[in-house]
A and B are shown apart, each in its own frame.
Chain A
Amino acid sequence: MCEISDEMLMAYADGELAQDMRARVEAYLAVAPQGRRRLAAFTATGRGLADIFDRPMREPMPQHLLDLVTGSQSERTRATRVFSVTPISLGRQQRPLPSTTRTWALAASFATLLAAGVGSIWFLQLTPTDADATYGLAISIDGKKTAGSALASALETAATGSSATRTINSQAASIRPIFTFGTGKSEYCRQYEVLRKDMPGLAGVACRETDGTWRIETQIAFAPRRSTDGGIAPAGRETLAPIEAVVNRMISGDVLGVDDEARVMNGGWRGAHP
């Protein structure tokens, strides 16, 4: 029985050996107690080391380090822990959401939290780039940004709280209406989010024109950290601040409850505010 080197025992412990070599190592270990002792040094120090030092992977990144790297004092970039994601209604306490909507917003946040597990997750609000401002969604007509067919069809038919999957630029995108509200100009607008795998997410507000198109009032890109299970998480409250500002400027009355929204949707997005 030839001696097996430490390197080979280590590679065996790490699962790095091809089958024939693995068989040789096992044959050796079966008859060599000193080999089993040498092996123990490597099984005790394998890839499990990552678990010992995993706190930085579970806990939020200190803000000062993020600011340092992004070159920002919270101007260009804001980061928010997913754990502090708050219902999107929070910035608009002067106009509380109907309870059904608020419940959904909370439920959605927590569902995402659960799906996200305990990974270290935070969001970056990036300066919107032209590429993402126009990413398959918005086409410019007379200087106006109008939702492309995928986004428009989702906004036209998907209820608040649901998630519509559309293919945009050959890639699956999950489009989620966040809520619906009426404006002083007797039109209806919807805040939405678009989540894509491995790509910046998008958040925006679009309003239904009488000709059936959806005009993009504002849209920003944000970078969702992928969660540990490979899923993606929605925008945090900080990210949505510019969107909130647009909503607050435009909104007339309250956001629509679920029933009112369904009535307006079935009526072709016309008619006076419920």
Chain B
Amino acid sequence: MTDDIRDRMVELLPRLRRFSYALTGNLDKADDLVQETCVRALTSADQWQAGTRLDSWMYRIAQNIWFDRMRAAKVRGEVVDVDAAIDLVGEDGRDVTESILTLKAVARSIGELPADQQMVLVHVCIDGLSYKDTADALGIPIGTVMSRLARARRALHSAIADDGSVDSPETKPIEEEVSNVRNLR
């Protein structure tokens, strides 16, 4: 274990925590997830290849743990409920209530996305990477980034547009590869 990877993990911690928060919708659960992710990452640090992105690697570890937990909860018949911490609602009035509800709705939707879509969504919409950088980080073509991202965001939009005031776009089959990606800068 080199100090180098530990230092880089420290640097990454806030973003890993934000990623976990987006999956769980709850800071306590996010911290549990971060903790287990770090334990696994540290015990398998030799599997991380220097030169590749540490954030993508640790995100994937967190995803695996998260999906394991979701599956286990379903097997036990528990309802996976990201609203457990809803007691914050009302603390600061309506705006806070609404933003928490939005956060919960978005987190629930993100948490249930397929892993590949989830990963692309977080890289672009939460970490703010370009499509190109996301493609490089994940080692996939930029067209794949776009098709996964579009799917993820249509699902997300449907989830948060539940009051009917926003039209849910009709779903239609999407080509896995986008033919005219060369038009992208």
Contact = CB atoms under 8 A, between A and B. Distances in A.
B124 interface: yes
A41 interface: yes
A14 interface: yes
Tell which of A7, A17, A18, A46 has the most Cβ of chain B within 10 Å.
A7
A25 to B, nearest CB: 10
Interface residues on A, range: 35 or more
Contacts of B1: 71
Contacts of A66: 10, 13
Contact of A65 (B38, B154, B169, B180): B38
B18 A54 contact: yes
B62 interface: no
A69 B42 contact: yes
Contacts of B150: 6-7, 10, 42
Interface string B93-104: 000000100110
A65 B125 contact: no
B35 interface: yes
Among A45, A49, A57: residue with most chain B CB under 10 A: A45
A194 B103 CA distance: 41
Given A37-B167, A50-B125, A61 B156 contact: no
B125 A47 contact: yes
A37 B169 contact: yes
A8 B147 CA distance: 10
Interface of B: 1, 6-7, 9-10, 13-15, 17-18, 21-22, 27, 30-31, 34-35, 38-39, 42, 99, 102-103, 106-107, 121, 124-128, 130-131, 143, 146-147, 149-150, 153-154, 156-158, 160-161, 166-169, 172, 174, 178, 180, 183-185
Interface of A: 5-8, 10-11, 14, 16-18, 20-21, 37-38, 40-42, 44-50, 52-57, 61-62, 64-66, 68-71, 120, 124, 223
19 contacts: A6-B154, A6-B169, A7-B146, A7-B174, A8-B180, A10-B150, A18-B185, A40-B167, A45-B125, A45-B160, A47-B125, A50-B126, A52-B102, A55-B27, A65-B17, A65-B34, A65-B35, A66-B10, A223-B7
